[in-house]
Amino acid sequence: METTLRGVGVSHGVAIGEVRHMGTAVLEPPAKQIAADEAEREQGRARQAVEAVSADLMARGQLAGGEAQHVLEAQAMIATDPELMSDVDRRIVVGSTAERAVYDAFASYRDLLAGAGEYMAGRVADLDDVRNRIVARLLGVPMPGVPDSDEPYVLIARDLAPADTALLDPALVLGFVTEEGGPTSHSAILARALGVPAIVALPGAGEIAEGTVIAVDGSTGDLFVEPTAEKRAELEAAAAERKAALAASSGPGATSDGHKVPLLANVGGPADVPAAVEAGAEGVGLFRTEFLFLDDSKKAPSEEKQIESYRKVLEAFPEGRVVVRVLDAGADKPLDFLTPADEPNPALGVRGLRSLLDHPDVLRTQLTALAKAAEGLPVYLEVMAPMVADRIDAKAFADACREAGLRAKFGAMVEIPSAALRARSILQEVEFLSLGTNDLAQYAFAADRQVGAVSRLQDPWQPALLDLIAMSAEAAKAEGKSCGVCGEAASDPLLACVLTGLGVTSLSMGSASIPYVRATLAKYTLAQCERAAAAARAADSAEEARVAAQAVLSGE
């Protein structure tokens, strides 16, 4: 009998197929004591395993390329973290085996961060995955992963680590469902990049029996167990309709009555540019420069290396707009040369622009590199600061840009509620705003963006979040300036219409989402988008907001 479950849809499309479950990873090795004269040997085993796992993650990243490569390279850095390895060595000296020392060191690190209120932002699955890979190698057992199958299937897992998600074969894995995770987790972001329908934060999905036929709607978050023939036909027809709309959609983003909404791409570096160009991106709305800095946590990349990387992205969009976010370090992206090591809660500490203002040489070098990279290019360069809290922050950033001789528009990201509340004040110092909806939701609702238990508060349809977005857009309009969205909210086609109705002037997203958003926007007038936005803001929950907006746009 057909039953329906609902999670959080994070990657568009419909997948219908039999269930295959992800293998359970090695969790806890046996506790055994070793003799003192065995410690050096065990330390050597631990180092070899760590180096092998790090190399494997780097190799997987090179195979995957693009966004996935950046994610996996960051994960490889977790494996070789000096503090973790020192802890492993200490545990071995007092009698632990290599595998037990690794397990306990990672557990201690994880508990310490959780107890301090650490903002893990997608790193829980990453941390566990690295630990399990090292322990599995030390025990000499295979690391359970994506199941072997000659036939296409729908994958169900408790959670998916980036190393597994990045190399999924879309020809075999029709879609996937996870019990944990959230809309901004690495697995969700990579699913969109792969174009695989996906649902996350669906408790109980793991209880669905192997081989059961299910239908996954990655747009709505609905999972249908043993769908009827009628339901399958309905879903397949909807998917075919969406595919036809995508094929017919091209050109700049706009509503059906010609209101222009530039559709831009989120990129992490030159490797992401081809997909953005292929999707018809009108430019880059978020160039995450921190991936360049994560190559070496001990020191900043040279000015020459930065110029080379930035110029490759700028050259890809002649006459286009490229919005660069300066280094956003801290919290889940610590850098030894920049971020404090002893903060009780890094997410609420010296992060983003705060770190850069404490290290003006790092900011100056990056701004100078951007200025030199743009020389002679017909590109519209815009540079923005992350984690701006008030006008004082905005002025400090704008002054730094001018001192570096940067010929570009200067902007501020709205990720902290105070910035939305005082947007008009901030706009006295900068020329545009860009809403980072992932962090804005996290800080507005005090809800870690990767904790499944609070995923409803990370839903970008939350009316309170829409209020903050509207407040920012209204302030920008009053000042005659622009206000874009570069968070994952922009990748939801229906929500893109609502954001347009709220007054947002551009939308930036993962490249794979651009055709879906373009096709959906083209179906509605600006007035319809405005009515949908008003209906969503009048609701009392994210689900009610989504339903209300859909009703307006469908003419119900």
Q: Which positions are catalytic?
A: 186, 486
- At residue 462, φ and ψ (nearest 5 deg) are -55, 125
First to last CA, the chain: 30
**204-243 residues labelled b (16+ CB within 10 A) or e (exposed):** ebbebeeeeebbbbbbbbbbbbebeeeebeebeeebeebe
Alpha-carbon distance 305 to 369, whole Å? 9
Residues 323, 284 contacting (CB under 8 angstroms): yes
The alpha helices in 344-492, defined as continuous H runs, are 353-358, 360-374, 391-403, 417-421, 423-426, 437-445, 463-478
Chain centroid to CA 353: 19
Residues 6+ apart with CB under 8 A from 214: 16, 17, 18, 19, 154, 177, 208, 223, 224, 225, 226, 227
Query: In whole angstroms, what is the distance from residue 324 CA to residue 2 CA?
Result: 48
Q: Which two structure tokens, joined as six digits, stand for 500?
A: 């347009």
Q: Collapsing DSSP states into helix, strand and coil, what is residue 402?
A: helix
Query: Residue 258 and residue 120: Cα distance in Å, rounded?
Result: 42
Determine the distance from the C-alpha atom of residue 302 to the mean position of all C-alpha atoms in its chain, rounded to a whole number.
Answer: 26
Which residues have a Cβ under 8 Å from the Cβ of 413 and sit 6 or more positions away? Answer: 325, 384, 385, 386, 387, 388, 419, 433, 434, 435, 436, 486
The number of angstroms, rounded, from the C-alpha of 211 to the middle of its chain's C-alpha atoms is 31
Strand partners, 333: 330
Q: Calculate helix-pair angle for 98-115, 82-93, nearest 10 degrees.
A: 130
Radius of gyration of the chain (CA): 23
The length of the chain, given as a count of residues? 556
Distance CA 130, CA 36 (A): 27
Tokens coding 473: 């857009």
Please give the Cα distance from 22 to 20 (Å, whole number): 7
Q: Rounded to whole angstroms, how far apart are CA atoms 315 and 87?
A: 45
